[in-house]
Amino acid sequence: MPPSRPHTCCAEHTRAEFARRTIAEAGKGLPTIEAGMPTPAGTGLSRRSFLLRAGGVALSVYGASMLKPQAFAEGIAEAATGDGRVLLSVFVGGGWDSLSLLAPVLDPTYLQLRPGLKVEPGAGPTWTEDPRLQWHPSAAPLHKLHSEGKVTVMPSIGYAGADQSHFTSRHYWEVGETNVRTNTGWLGRMLDLVGTPDNPMQGLSLDGSLAPSLATAKNPVAATWETEYDLWAPGVWGDVENLMFGAFDRIGAGAVRGGDAGMAASGNVMRQANTLRNQLGSFPDEVSSPVAYPNDRHFASSLKGFAAMLAAGLPIKVASVDAPGDYDTHDDQQADFARNVKETCDGLLAFQRDLEARGLADRVLTLVWSEFGRRPEENGSAGTDHGAGGSAFLIGNGVRGQMVGEWPGLKSLDEDENLRSTADYRGMYCSLLEGWFGVDAGAIIPGASNFARPALLG
């Protein structure tokens, strides 16, 4: 299998965003306002807006003829009375270098394997659980959270017989088993088991396309770009727009009833899209937050918007977002790695503080993972090649805060000269499913009984 292409190419995103803005501005080509006319859509006022007390987020709802604000508020209230536990999966694409995140700075083997890429002693804080290791200076926010007991570290996690293809290894992590044919995600299967057939927000991908780990077989899930989900219709606004979305939903419903499989599949997703649109509405572009985020780029904005969505009581169970940057550092690793880790960790710290300030921190966990670690021996181009054991972190008030699996050391590497895994990712999944969500891992993770359950939660 070929390596997956870097999926977060900055130029592409900037370009797509630019195009989006262009089309949004084109939407301003609305008729002149005359006396007595309603304010056109696009200014947000023609949609029925209401303020949710929780978090003070202004929510606007389209298609109010179908779904009244009151019903919506009731739905939110109902979801809020449940357990409300949430897991956010943060995928670090490309395979991040565990030996830089937690570096054995004084280990002679490390100095020998990493003459050019070694992290300098004293550059970052020592990891209290294993003083041989030192945090990368860019990962200082994780050290801070760890010292508060809010991070469970898995210093070398993976699976036996590590596959060194990005695509295959990521797939294994996404589906929760080492089977290339599985096409539902481990979290998706959980939603099939304990989710509902009418709430696409229960599994939310924040990067604009469905995260494979959330892929379900039967229950709906949703994908948005940050907090935005809107269907823009040129030359349609106000009451006619509301009627149009009503018709959109009814056409979908008609197709579901009609009996043709292709039409029904299409009608179903139309209804999901409309539900999602109602749920998110014109969720304000400028989400207010009780804490400052490091920047307004996609990752930070996604986390900020996600916290606001949770505060608004939106019925989300699992969500996914990609960490910024490409960690496939085959060359010139130092600068790229430092910059990307900093952006990722700064964002995660702000998110945790946001949850704490909003009183949500007890019911949200964040899992940060990557498809593999990197080769201990640096290569000839100031980079590292694909490895095996990688780093994962579980962040939240509910974690135990003690490492799972120990640091394996550089003395005995695996047959490919890679770091051995000391924890199995499937055991971690089982532990989360059972300990956090209280569902039977045996019904979700194949061979669940074979995996030891690490003590992740406090």
- Binding residues (CB under 8 A) for other proteins: these are 1-2, 4-5, 11-12, 15-16, 19-20, 22-23, 26, 31, 34, 36-37, 167, 181, 183, 200, 205, 208-210, 215, 220-225, 229, 231-241, 243-244, 246-248, 250-252, 254-255, 257-258, 260-270, 272-273, 276
Q: How far is the CB of 81 from other proteins (least distance, A)?
A: 26
- What is the C-alpha to C-alpha distance for residues 306 and 431, in angstroms, rounded to an integer? 24
Query: Given the complex with other proteins, which of 256 and 457 has the nearer CB atom?
Result: 256
Any bridge partners for residue 402, and if so which? Answer: none
Q: How far is the CB of 66 from other proteins (least distance, A)?
A: 12
| ∠ Cα 84 85 90 (to 5°) | 130
Q: How far is the CB of 310 from other proteins (least distance, A)?
A: 19
Any bridge partners for residue 221, and if so which? Answer: none
Query: Given the complex with other proteins, which of 210 and 357 has the nearer CB atom?
Result: 210
- What is the C-alpha to C-alpha distance for residues 35 and 269, in angstroms, rounded to an integer? 39
Q: How far is the CB of 279 from other proteins (least distance, A)?
A: 10
Q: How far is the CB of 241 from other proteins (least distance, A)?
A: 7
203-205 and 222-223 strand pairing: parallel
Please give the sequence-ordered ranges of beta strands (E in DSSP) within 304-458, or none if there are none: 318-322, 364-370, 390-395, 423-424
- What is the C-alpha to C-alpha distance for residues 2 and 172, in angstroms, rounded to an integer? 16
Cα dihedral 306→307→311→314 (10° resolution): 20
Q: Which two tokens stand for residue 182?
A: 């599985």
From the number of C-beta atoms within 10 Å of its C-beta (0-12, 13-18, 19+), residue 450 rates as exposed
58-61 and 48-51 strand pairing: antiparallel
Q: How far is the CB of 5 from other proteins (least distance, A)?
A: 6
Query: Given the complex with other proteins, which of 268 and 402 has the nearer CB atom?
Result: 268
Query: Given the complex with other proteins, which of 46 and 152 has the nearer CB atom?
Result: 46
Query: Given the complex with other proteins, which of 159 and 229 has the nearer CB atom?
Result: 229
Query: Given the complex with other proteins, which of 229 and 369 has the nearer CB atom?
Result: 229
